[in-house]
């Protein structure tokens, strides 16, 4: 039996603005360590909404969320921030980097925040990661001087800096051209093979989903296939 | 927790918005500069104006007022008990302005170890004869040495040597304005008439300027012996005893004690000059009000700039939160920004305040009223600098607090979704 890293127990969510609309309906699934899972579904079916809940950023839901077999539901904001820092790497569709910092510092920040290793060690590890994603040459550039594909690779390196239990991505290739999409996909794929990195990636791209180990399909706030 | 990280993030955010930051800091600098300068200048003026009075005013003055008895014989008589006394126009008895038994009193006061010194005086009305015209004035018989030691008499004698009063017999120092009226130069002899009608020639050895023109128009000084001679009185005749204490705050108590002990009228400096204290206090209140108003305005400047910064940095805040920074961390980052603005702006304000004060201190300020003052007076009391910087920190703390709290509460989901 493989270990469960992420578990969603009957998660429900509604928006109340202006009328109550149920967006997520009884979501139940588990993700095992080392799995590369993609979530697909029509636009508006609730994929992003689910991902925000799973990443602990959204706490306004019913049901239970477990990460690494620890219940996240009901934890304080500061505790959840620590969980995100230590256990979750997040890659957004829009490469959210901090423009005030260099690419390297962007990668380092979550590591410095965790404070487990010294600044030199974090920097060393960040350089290693960037080398692996072949962006080490860009390390000292400002974040806003990079191309979209480069930014996304910096964001992936940032997601990896603290050796997270799981990487979550909301359409990480959605904003990239085909060539860059492939580069990013290959990186993610390689991470699962080489490091047994668990991945949960929301995507619109059937080709992308087809290449992952497991596909969770959603429709109107429900999981219809997993 | 990781303070260094927070400070380094705050620094990067600050440097990314250097111009706005400087504008905010300059607001604080300006208000602290004005606060420190204003208070230093105002209290400098206060001290100067006060010392104008305090230096030459005795802490306790003993004298005899001419007034009717408080308990009239008719009230003391048992015969009219229960009756209503409607006798009006009561005259004072044969009052004497002289302090009785002055020798013993002087000796007794000099033995009191609360007393710094004592200067006896005689005050008498006289007329100066300027041709056909008579000018009313007042002559003060003084103990020159003691007056110089205790009441800075020499500082007000702007022309001539005050000690000549003692060394030259039948000499007089005239108020400058009075001397001008009499056309009396140094070395001239002026004629004066006492209230008994005796006429005396006195030699002018100096002018004095007190700072109060009206006073200078009507006052003259001579040695105590000269005035005793003028009035035809003996060596023990004095009308005022001016006491200077070691501690000015004891004056009211000592005055009360002496009134009973020596059976004279007494007046303490606090009662005599209460209006000056009120003036000083009003000036201080005005300075503080203006200074604090400036600080509050600067505080609103910081508040606005931080709010704007947070609005611009929503995305940054969302990413920080998504990657594991808590609301508290974000709040601390923005508090650090606010406090940096406050500290840097405040310290620069202290420096500029000091420089501006020193500049004002150099500006010539020559007025006939204040012969000892040559430049504008400034009080460099460290307390104003401490108060100024403390207020700067408090204002920036509150100006930063609300925007920082708002930043801490930013919901990353809304920002990330909104893109
Ligand atoms: N703040 C909100 N208030 C009300 N309704 C919302 C809010 N946010 C999202 N929704 C609605 O919730 C539904 C799910 O949105 P969500 O972003 O999860 O869809 P999605 O599956 O990610 O779509 P896409 O593939 O286009 O990104 C949508 O119908 C959307 O209109
Ligand atoms: Mg979406």
Domains, in order of start, for chain A: 33-61+76-225 (3.40.50.300)
CB pair distance less than 8 Å for B2 and A112: yes
pLDDT digit of tens for each residue in chain B (419 aa)?
578 889 999 998 888 888 888 888 888 898 889 888 988 888 888 877 777 777 778 889 888 877 666 677 777 777 777 778 787 877 766 566 788 888 888 888 888 888 988 899 998 899 988 777 888 999 999 998 988 888 888 888 888 888 888 888 899 999 999 998 888 888 889 988 888 888 889 999 999 888 778 888 899 999 999 999 888 888 888 988 999 988 888 888 998 998 888 888 888 888 877 776 777 788 778 878 887 887 788 788 778 888 888 888 888 898 899 888 999 999 999 999 989 988 999 899 999 999 999 999 888 887 665 666 778 888 888 888 998 888 888 888 988 899 899 889 888 888 888 75
Residues B136 and B284 in one domain: no
Residues B256 and B304 in one domain: no
d(CA B373, CA B376) in angstroms, rounded, equals: 8
pLDDT at residue B132 in the model: 77
**Which of the residues B323, B409, B415 would you substitute to probe the A interface, choosing the one with the greatest number of A C-beta atoms within 10 Å?**
B323
Partners of A4 in the beta sheet? Answer: A32
Residues B243 and B202 in one domain: yes
In a domain, B92, yes or no: no
In a domain, B88, yes or no: no
SS3 B147: helix
pLDDT at residue B351 in the model: 94
Residues B299 and B238 in one domain: no
Residues B157 and B241 in one domain: yes
Query: Per residue in A34-63, pLDDT tens?
Result: 888 999 988 888 898 999 999 999 988 999
Most ligand 1 atoms within 8 A of CB, residue of A12, A15, A217, A223 to mutate: A15
pLDDT at residue A176 in the model: 77
Which residue among B318, B326, B413 sits closest to A81, beta carbon to beta carbon? Answer: B326
Of all protein residues, the one whose alpha carbon is nearest to atom 5 of ligand 1 is A15
**CA-to-CA dists, residue B29 to A28, A113, B346, angstroms:** 59, 34, 5
Domain that holds residue B14: 3-54+276-418
pLDDT at residue B370 in the model: 64
In a domain, B104, yes or no: yes
Q: Which of A17, A53, A91, A19 is nearest to A221 (CA)?
A: A53
pLDDT at residue B94 in the model: 55
**CA-to-CA dists, residue A34 to A2, A3, A191, B419, angstroms:** 9, 9, 10, 31
Residues B185 and B305 in one domain: no
Which residues contact residue B111 at a Cβ distance below 8 angstroms, ignoring those fewer than 6 apart?
none
Ligand 1 centroid–CA A94 distance in Å is 16
Q: Using CB atoms within 10 A of its CB, is residue B69 exposed (0-12), middle (13-18) or buried (19+)?
A: exposed
d(CA B219, CA B176) in angstroms, rounded, equals: 9
In a domain, B342, yes or no: yes
Query: Per residue in A161-187, pLDDT tens?
Result: 998 989 998 888 777 788 888 888 888
pLDDT at residue B221 in the model: 93
CB pair distance less than 8 Å for A96 and B315: yes
CB pair distance less than 8 Å for B325 and A85: yes
Q: Is A102 on the interface with B (CB under 8 A)?
A: no
Q: Which residues surround ligand 2, an ion (CB under 5 A)?
A: A 48
Domain end, chosen from B269, B284, B307, is at: B269
Closest chain B residue to the Cα of A89, Cα to Cα: B323
**What values do phi and psi take at A198, rounded to 5?**
-75, 140
DSSP string, A103-143: HHHHHHHHHHHH-SS-HHHHHHHHHHHHHHTT-GGGTTSBG
Partners of A122 in the beta sheet? Answer: none
Helix and strand totals (H; E) in chain B: 17, 10
Nearest CA to CA, how far is A91 from chain B (Å)?
A: 10
Domain end, chosen from B253, B269, B285, is at: B269
Identify the nearest ligand to the CA of A25 by its number. Answer: 1
**pLDDT for residue A109 is more than 60:** yes
Residues B29 and B64 in one domain: no
d(CA B331, CA B141) in angstroms, rounded, equals: 74
Ligand 2 centroid–CA A202 distance in Å is 8
Q: Is B316 on the interface with A (CB under 8 A)?
A: yes
Both structure tokens of B215: 């006073």
d(CA B335, CA B338) in angstroms, rounded, equals: 5
pLDDT above 70 as % of chain B: 95
Of all protein residues, the one whose alpha carbon is nearest to atom 27 of ligand 1 is A43
Which residue's entry shows tokens 């009305």? B125
Chain B residues lying within 8 Å of A52, measured CB to CB: 413, 416-417
Q: What angle do the packed helices A77-87 and B327-362 form, to 10 degrees? A: 100
pLDDT at residue B32 in the model: 87
Q: Do β-strands B115-130 and B133-142 pair in parallel, antiparallel, or remain unpaired?
A: antiparallel
Residues B301 and B182 in one domain: no
Residues B213 and B142 in one domain: yes
CB pair distance less than 8 Å for A96 and B319: yes
Angle CA(B234)–CA(B236)–CA(B242) in degrees, nearest 5?
A: 135
pLDDT at residue A123 in the model: 92
In a domain, B89, yes or no: no
In a domain, B87, yes or no: no
Residues B156 and B231 in one domain: yes
pLDDT at residue B91 in the model: 73
**B residues 359..418 contacting A (CB < 8 A):** 412-413, 416-417
Residues B327 and B220 in one domain: no
* Ligand 1 nearest atom to the CA of residue A42, by list position: 25
d(CA A214, CA A201) in angstroms, rounded, equals: 10
- Around ligand 1, the residues with Cβ closer than 6 Å are A 15, 17, 23, 41, 43-49
Residues B28 and B158 in one domain: no
CB pair distance less than 8 Å for A99 and B16: yes
**pLDDT for residue A2 is more than 80:** no
Most ligand 1 atoms within 8 A of CB, residue of A25, A46, A60 to mutate: A46
ipTM, interface predicted TM-score of the complex: 0.91
Ligand 2 centroid–CA A39 distance in Å is 11
Q: What is the mean pLDDT of residues A68-92?
A: 90
In a domain, B327, yes or no: yes
Q: Yes or no: say if B326 and B55 are a contact pair by the CB < 8 Å rule.
A: no
Domain end, chosen from B239, B269, B299, is at: B269
**Which of the residues A113, A156, A168 would you substitute to probe the B interface, choosing the one with the greatest number of B C-beta atoms within 10 Å?**
A113
In a domain, B90, yes or no: no
* Ligand 1 nearest atom to the CA of residue B417, by list position: 17
Most ligand 1 atoms within 8 A of CB, residue of A48, A208, A216 to mutate: A48
pLDDT at residue A188 in the model: 85
How many structural domains comprise chain B? 2
* Ligand 1 nearest atom to the CA of residue A47, by list position: 21
DSSP string, A63-80: EEEEETTEE-TT--HHHH
């Amino acid at each position: 039996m493989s270990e469960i890293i992420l578990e969603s127990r009957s998660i429900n969510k509604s928006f109340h603005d202006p009328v109550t609309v149920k967006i997520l309906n009884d979501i139940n699934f588990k993700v095992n360590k080392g799995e590369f899972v993609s979530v697909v579904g029509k636009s508006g079916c609730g994929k992003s909404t689910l991902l925000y809940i799973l990443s602990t950023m959204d706490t306004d839901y019913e049901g239970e969320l477990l990460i690494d077999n620890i219940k996240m539901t009901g934890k304080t904001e500061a505790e959840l921030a620590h969980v995100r820092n230590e256990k979750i790497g997040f890659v957004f569709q829009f490469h959210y980097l901090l423009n005030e910092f260099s690419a390297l510092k962007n990668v380092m920040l979550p590591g410095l925040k965790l404070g487990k290793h010294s600044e030199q060690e974090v920097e060393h590890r960040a350089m290693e990661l960037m080398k692996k994603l072949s962006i080490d040459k860009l390390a000292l550039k400002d974040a806003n001087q990079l191309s979209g594909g480069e930014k996304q690779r910096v964001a992936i390196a940032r997601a990896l800096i603290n050796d997270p239990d799981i990487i979550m991505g909301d359409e990480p290739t959605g904003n990239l051209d085909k060539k860059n999409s492939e580069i990013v996909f290959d990186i993610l794929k390689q991470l699962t093979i080489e490091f047994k990195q668990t991945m949960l990636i929301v995507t619109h791209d059937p080709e992308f989903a087809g290449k992952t180990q497991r596909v969770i399909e959603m429709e109107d706030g429900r999981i219809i296939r997993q | 927790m990781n303070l260094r990280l927070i400070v380094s993030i705050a620094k990067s955010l600050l440097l990314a918005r250097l111009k706005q930051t400087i504008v905010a800091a300059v607001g604080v600098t300006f208000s602290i500069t004005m606060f420190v300068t204003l208070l230093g200048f105002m209290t400098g003026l206060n001290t100067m104006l006060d010392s104008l009075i305090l230096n030459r005013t005795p802490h306790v003055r003993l004298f005899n007022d001419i007034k009717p008895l408080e308990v009239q014989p008719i009230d003391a008589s048992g015969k009219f008990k229960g009756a209503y006394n409607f006798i009006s126009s009561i005259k004072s008895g044969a009052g004497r302005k002289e302090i009785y038994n002055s020798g013993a009193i002087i000796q007794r006061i000099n033995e009191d170890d609360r007393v710094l010194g004592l200067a006896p005086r005689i005050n008498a009305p006289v007329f100066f004869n300027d041709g056909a015209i008579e000018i009313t004035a007042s002559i003060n018989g003084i103990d020159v040495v003691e007056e110089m030691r205790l009441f800075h008499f020499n500082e007000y004698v702007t022309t001539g040597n005050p000690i000549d009063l003692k060394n030259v017999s039948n000499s007089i120092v005239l108020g400058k304005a009075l001397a001008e009226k009499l056309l009396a130069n140094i070395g001239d002899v002026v004629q004066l008439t006492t209230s008994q009608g005796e006429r005396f020639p006195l030699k002018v050895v100096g002018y004095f300027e007190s700072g109060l023109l009206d006073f200078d128009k009507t006052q003259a000084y001579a040695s105590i012996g000269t005035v005793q001679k003028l009035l035809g009185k003996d060596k023990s005749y004095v009308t005022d005893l001016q006491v200077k204490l070691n501690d000015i705050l004891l004056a009211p108590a000592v005055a009360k004690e002496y009134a009973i002990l020596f059976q004279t009228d007494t007046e303490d400096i606090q009662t005599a000059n209460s209006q000056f204290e009120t003036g000083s206090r009003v000036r201080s209140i005005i300075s503080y009000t203006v200074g604090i108003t400036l600080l509050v305005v600067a505080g609103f400047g910081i508040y606005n700039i931080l709010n704007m910064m947070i609005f611009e940095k929503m995305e940054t805040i969302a990413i920080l939160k998504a990657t594991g920074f808590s609301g508290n961390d974000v709040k601390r980052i923005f508090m650090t920004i606010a406090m940096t603005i406050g500290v840097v702006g405040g310290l620069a304000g202290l420096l500029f305040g000091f420089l501006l004060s020193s500049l004002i201190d150099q500006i010539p300020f020559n007025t006939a009223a204040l012969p000892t003052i040559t430049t504008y007076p400034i009080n460099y009391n460290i307390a104003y600098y401490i108060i100024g910087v403390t207020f700067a920190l408090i204002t920036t703390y509150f100006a930063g607090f609300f925007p920082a709290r708002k930043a801490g509460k930013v919901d990353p989901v809304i920002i990330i979704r909104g893109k």
